[in-house]
Structure 1
Amino acid sequence: MLPQENLIRRVRQLCHDDPRLVAALMYGSFAQGKADEHSDIEFWLFFDAAPDPHAWLAAVGDTLHVVVNEFGAHVVFFPGLIRGEFHFAQANDISSVRSWPALSGPPDRMIVVDRTGELRQALESLPAEPPHPTTPAEVAEVCGRFANWLLLAHHVTARGELLRAADALTHADRHLLWMVRLAENRTDHWLTPSRQAEADLPPNVIQALGKDPATTWALGRRYWQQLAHRHDFPVPEALFHELDAAING
């Protein structure tokens, strides 16, 4: 048994015992049934009377540190470097679940507490998989966004801002992964295209990522042309010509 499962059982018990809590759900790898020893535990908690988050989390188990991340979630570092992510929300926020792009797992695995039935209704309104670009305009937009970040990486590299270039290239690589997933019909992990990329995508793609703008452009150029041919939209030949000359020297 994974140590995360003991923490999950404790969270479930706290949820059931807390009268302030209207609904709670688990998401991520454990909700999907795909967790391993490296997986986080992740929850949304909906209260009609807000608790003290730090006190509530301390009741889950020993903690090494708690921080509120840039998305407003409380991230907990448990012993063994287990990471927990907890979103403390109000009961009237349950309806916002309907705006999520897709389910994180089967509703029965996700739901921890649902005292009103509203959470189940919200979850069952979601698609099983997130939508991905399908029209020529949508696919072309992904390719154009790839070029946007790639060109920025090229310019700041030439300026000598190498850390900024690495950051921009990371964004270019993310869009390249989306392009590859579309071209290879591997859209399973669309929201996080790097997830299981080593297993999902061709080895030459994995080897090319994160190296330099020229390597990224060579791969992206090929996939852009492939997608343009498949979805019948024009390739911006003038842009290709200038990128070839600038990036390849």
Structure 2
Amino acid sequence: MPSHSACPALDDRITALQQLAHAEPRLEGVLLYGSWTVGEADAHSDIEAYLYVADEHVESFDGRKFLARLAPLELAYVNMYGVLAVVFDDLMRGEFHITAAGPGIDEVPTWEGMVHLPRPEAAVLLDRTGRLTRAARHLATLRPPEPVGTARQLMDELANWTLMLAHVLARGETARAHALLHTVIAPQQLQLCRLLRDSTAHWLTPSRALEQDLPDSDRHRYTATTAAARAQDVRHAARESWRWSRDLCAEAAGRWGVQVPGRLHERISDLLETCR
């Protein structure tokens, strides 16, 4: 049985899912991932799991009907990523990947570096053959991103997207610039910041637990890049964002010897200064 999280309601739902899975002969395995598996689940957490269906039953397995036996569903649909997303009657969310066991379980070790399962046996709710547990053990060690190549990639991304941001601002598209700033540029800044602070546990969702993971100085720099979707505010935030990006790039260059395209950076700065 899985170990307990900090949320009894979530524990109860996971225990019920495990019992239901064991009673469903078409399932070969069930693997949890996300906040529950790294000990961060709370009353606001959802359930994220892979349901590995025996290959010969994939076409006949109805994920909605299966999950409705777990708890009444307020919503169930296949989202933009092809994942079955549900909302239970107590407003707990869930995301369930329903996949053929054969190729699906073989893919699990390839997630190394992207998914962390510190207690693989606890994340495996069902394993009829032993294959899933063996595969999950590949994810037991958290492997941080390789710093030099990752820093170079993020530095290039920040220059490219900030240049686009400057052009969009110059065109007067405030809403589009606002979206670029907050949904494209900010996550890459936070990843570069995490890389520099040796704090990559929340790499794939770099804003998660930002208040606990990063120093106040970084949090204040991040806050300065946020803005309401008003033209003047977005322009100011864009300039603050680029200043922080340049500071992060300079720090990465000093630490790992990554080359900064200085002339391009200056030209982007000049372009942003004209957007007032």
TM-score (norm: length of structure 2): 0.85
- Equivalent residue number for residue 124 of structure 1: 137
Question: What residue identity is the alignment partner of 1:207?
Answer: T
Q: 1:88 aligns with which of 83, 88, 98?
A: 98
Structure 1 residue 205 corresponds to structure 2 residue 227: no
Measured in 2, the distance between the counterparts of 1:247 and 1:124 equals: 48
The 2-side partners of 1:28 and 1:138 are apart by 23
Report if the CA contact (8 A) 1:94-1:122 is conserved.
Answer: yes
Q: In 1, distance between residues paired with 2:169 and 2:8?
A: 44
Larger deviation: 1-10 or 223-232? 1-10
Q: Gaps (5+ residues) in structure 2?
A: 1-6, 228-236
Cross-structure match for 1:18 = 24
What's the CA shift string for 1:101-144, capped at 9, x where partnerless?
33233101101011111111111123522441322x43122111
TM-score (normalizing by structure 1)? 0.93
Counting only pairs closer than 5 Å after superposition, residues 230-249 of structure 1 correspond to structure 2 as: 230-249=255-274
Is 2:171 the counterpart of 1:159? yes
Do structure 1's residue 142 and structure 2's residue 154 form an aligned pair? yes
Counterpart-to-counterpart distance in 2, 1:98 and 1:75 = 24
**Aligned twin of 1:172:** 185
Q: Which runs of 4+ in 1 moved over 4 A?
A: none
User: What is aligned with 2:67?
Assistant: 57
Larger CA deviation: 64-73 vs 98-107: 98-107
- Equivalent runs, 1:34-49 vs 2, <5 Å: 34-48=40-54, 49=57
Deviations 1:8-55 (A, max 9, x none): 122111111111111111111112222111111111111111311111
Match of 1:67 in 2: 77
- For the residue of structure 2 that corresponds to 1:96, the secondary structure is helix
- Asked whether the 8 Å contact 2:118–2:140 carries over to 1, the reply is no
Please list every run of 5 or more consecutive structure 1 residues that lacks an aligned counterpart in the other structure: none
In 2: Cα distance, 1:147 partner to 1:122 partner: 38
- CA RMSD across the alignment: 1.6
Q: How many residues align?
A: 248
- Judge which range, 205-214 or 140-149, deviates more: 205-214
Are residues 1:229 and 2:239 paired? no
**1:88, distance to aligned residue in structure 2 (A):** 0.8
How far apart in 2 are the matches of 1:102 and 1:9?
A: 22
Structure 2 Cα separation of the partners of residues 147 and 89 of structure 1: 38
